[in-house]
Chain A
Amino acid sequence: MFRFVVRRLLVTLPMVLVVITLTWALIRLAPGNFYQGERPLPPGIERNIRARYGLDQPWYVQYGKVMGNILRLDFGSSLRFENETVNDILRRTVPVSASIGALAYLLALVVGITMGTLAALRQNSATDYAAMGLSMLGISVPNFVLGPILVLVFSLSLYWLPPARWGGFPSWNLVLPVLTLSAVYTAYIARLTRAGMLEVLRSDYIRTARAKGLTERQVVVRHALRGGLLPVVSFTGPALAILITGTVVVERIFAMPGLGNYFINANLSRDEPLILGIVAFASVMVLVFNLLVDVAYGFIDPRIRY
């Protein structure tokens, strides 16, 4: 197990560097630049800007500088936000995105697993249909539709909850974004749990457990769920990585100062250091969470050993 983890971690670094290099190249290939706006800049001013940000140097010098900085874990200053370093921005925005994402996923896990398990236990009953119907709805209603509906009901008609903005952690402002974000994950998890449970409930070891005279509760919680949740576990890795690195739509609808908001704007404004910083962070997250999932497999599924 230890060797497996070390090996995977060693692969992570070059992979992140490859991702960063590709991103860097893509930004360079993309037309437009960070300073060009509605009014074409006078050439003299454009020259000043290019000199200040080192854009007048050959590409390999610029690339070397970027990579050198990144290896020192310093992504430099944002181009659009003049006196902010990328590290500052990450430090400030990751907690926002992570708290919304983690809460949403936690909610999705609790509700999704409960719904999925109930549906599997009472397959083809009204409970099953209701649970699966709801989850179908959760999957098919995109969050940019669900968010405004929730706002319309809870903020603009009932005036119960704030319609947008970050209010710190914890605060009432979190309720609607978390609900909006969790819907689709709840739905997926419910369906994955149901499918996994149905398969496991028919397997031999469950029959053995029942034959041993265990209560239904013990059978489900101690034996069936462990195997039935494997699909959910593999789904969790990438899902959590995506949630923590910011969810563009929800952050925009609810005006949350999270990473997703920065990421979309960094791309639109060709803010190279910020894009690279966020991409690097996101890829590390994806790789780490996938690793965690693989490790978790070893604990959950007795058949898997590293």
Chain B
Amino acid sequence: MTGTKTARLLTLAASAALLLSACAPQIGKSQFFGKLVPPEGQVLRYISGSELESLDPQMSSGQNEARINIAMFEGLTEYNPKTLEPIPAIAERWTNNSDASEFVFFLRHDAKFSNGDPITARDFVYTLRRGLRPELASRVSFMAWDIKYAQALNEGRAFVRDPKTGRFVLASEATEHGGAGEAAAPAPAKAGVEGVPDTDFNRLIHEPERLTVPFDEKERAKKTKASPKLAGLIAGKELVPVRPEDIGVEAVDDYTLRFTLRQPTPYFLGLTQHQFFRVIPEKVVERYGVNWSKPGNMVCSGTHMLAEHKPYNQIVVVKNPYYWDAANVHLDKIIFYPIEEQTTMMNLYKAGEVDATYNHSVPASWLRAGLRYSKDYMDAPENGSQYWQLNTKKGPTTDKRVRKALAMSIDRKALEGFRVVSKAMGGFVPDGIIPGYKGPPGFIKPDVEGAKRLLAEAGYKDASGKFDPAKFPANELEITFNTSESNRQVAEFIQNQWKQNLGVTIALRSVETKTYFGMRARLDYKGIAAGAGWSGDYMDPYTFLGLFVTEGGDNGTGWFDPAYAKMLTEANHEADRAKRFQMLAKAEEYLLDNAPVIPLLKPATSWMKKPYVKGMYPNPGTLHAWKFVYIEHDSAKWDQGMPDMTTPELAD
């Protein structure tokens, strides 16, 4: 008896200690969090997120990889440390033709790989051709699909040639005859960039777009079955597989690189910052194959080069002596720690064992406990969007009115108050992030009466014509989310809002993440997929709006509307930025009116940085050009809060 009593007492004491420690995380206003001892010299210890899938910049898809790739590989352009707008990197300058369907980059002559080999336009051509090879099976290759024939190469397609005349069948022939299912994009402007030498390749790539069909027999049979016109076009012709040499990337000379795109792509510069476009060394890749990215083999093109990779432990990069701007690279070493537990990250940060963390690394409970008032807490709006997806192919949500009603009857401001740092968002493109873009207000103001009217119109009404919750088939809907505490909280909150506002109770369903992704990709969910978030790949509304132009609706909702796709294409044909943004805003309004998604919140970046880490800014993507970052040992110059983001200088 006494034994259990003692045990009880001890348990009580332990729980009390736990409670006390939870209530008093020693975070006050106007101070920094934890130890403030800068590392010796110019060394940065950074928590970079989950362990990398690959160090190969063309293979990895996540931001955790992007952060490390930025250190090791440079592209034509780099991220502005404050705004993320493209700034010159290996390309000193660039220019494009009138409709942004052709871009020419002029490379600096002094760029070198970390083994001393010069970086030329040919290296970029190699990098992209390799990245798009179907055998490589890159998950992010679609980032380069705007390059002419890049998608065809990546999908293993073939041109169709008449063996007698040697003439290639054109894409327009397939569409002119009444839609062969192979929609061709409008032809780009004939005029290329002026003042750049014309070449045979250039003339060839500017010829009218050729028809491409799947080279794989089974795939092709599917297409020809669906379209007898296409079958007719192919009959008796020979198939010529699209080769890497056929895509619209050309080294005009060693330092001039020309991209010919399949359609106007005003956001193309933003793409060139992505890791997929960062240059890799051909000799090394061809020599080591898949092992080229292992320490010892890897040769880099960025400010830093790989020194050590211990998975789930650390990645160490050291300064690249051959980097063209090495004199302005401050950090001698960056140690990336791949860590997944938020609490562990904060513990290491507080103990002074790391100097900065990546975005969304601060646990909500710590923020509530006061960490958000700490001077080293970085809270900035993010180029991201949190939304729910609706199944437009099955159940009550096939009706646009139901979808809109669900979106309209949520009080997002209340949701904002309930969350800690995210902000309410009514539209699909986060507002106030992309300079110059002003999207529609969307669902920011709840309109419960309007929602009820729409539902009544949809047929869920009583005898008097008013909305009747009892008629609404709530049991055919489910709020399906991938298991996480934060998703559950939001789901419960909105479930409650619908209950209060519409009198409708929709059940919750929590599923494991990969299962959730699978269900959503197959549209195998009942009505509502809760828990989507998209971080923009580049600073342009198209990175969000473009998610819904995938043919066949591969976007988790099944929604595809040619009118919407046309609006976006037309906007991209507009050369004037302000006008284009207006057109995109119209398209966004159209998207919201069809409501395949319920926009909810605009995330905040939410991360920590010691005051002695300078040149690292709370930008909208938490992507840092490491060349600007340094350790300030003079405590008088330390940051006293969020660094100034308004000055145009790249580094302070």
Contact = CB atoms under 8 A, between A and B. Distances in A.
Interface stretch (B162-170, B180-188, B510-518): B510-518
Contacts, number: 188
Nearest to B1: A129
A252 interface: yes
A267 to B, nearest CB: 9
B554 interface: yes
B343 A33 contact: no
Interface string B35-67: 100000000000000111110100101000000
Interface stretch (B305-313, B369-377, B446-454, B640-648): B305-313
Contact of A52 (B53, B54, B137, B337): B137
7 contacts: A31-B519, A32-B517, A52-B135, A82-B59, A132-B3, A165-B313, A270-B514
Interface string B1-45: 011101101110010011001000000000000110000000000
Nearest to A80: B53
Interface stretch (A39-47, A58-66, A197-205, A290-298): A39-47
Interface of B: 2-4, 6-7, 9-11, 14, 17-18, 21, 34-35, 50-54, 56, 59, 61, 134-139, 141-142, 151, 154-156, 219, 290-291, 293-294, 310-313, 337, 339-341, 343-344, 347-348, 350-351, 353, 512-521, 532-534, 547, 550, 552, 554-556
Nearest to A53: B137
B353 A162 contact: yes
Contact of B35 (A132, A134, A159, A256): A159
Interface string A166-181: 1000000000000000
Interface in A112-149: 128-130, 132-134, 136-137, 140-141, 145, 148-149
Given A83-B293, A252-B344, A41 B520 contact: no
Pick the 5 closest A-B CB pairs, nearest first: A32-B514, A44-B155, A257-B312, A133-B6, A136-B7
A164 B339 contact: yes
A207 interface: no
A45 B513 contact: no
B602 to A, nearest CB: 17
Nearest to B292: A83
A18 interface: no
Contact of A137 (B11, B139, B156): B11
A82 B59 CA distance: 9
A35 interface: yes
A152 B10 contact: no
B351 A156 contact: yes
A269 interface: yes
Contacts of A84: 311
B343 A253 contact: yes
A268 B484 CA distance: 13
Contact of B341 (A82, A83, A128, A253): A253
A265 interface: yes
A163 B351 contact: yes
Contact of A81 (B54, B341, B520): B54
A49 interface: yes
A218 interface: no
A136 B11 CA distance: 9
A69 interface: no
B54 A140 contact: no
A39 B533 CA distance: 9
B519 A44 contact: no
A269 to B, nearest CB: 7
A34 B513 CA distance: 11
B290 A83 contact: yes
B137 A81 contact: no
A44 B214 CA distance: 10
A31 B154 contact: no
B453 to A, nearest CB: 33
A36 B53 contact: no
A82 B138 CA distance: 11
Given A83-B290, A92-B311, A155 B347 contact: yes
Contact of B517 (A37, A43, A93, A134): A37
A216 interface: no
Contacts of B521: 36, 40
A46 B18 CA distance: 48
Given A83-B290, A156-B347, A165-B337, A136 B3 contact: yes
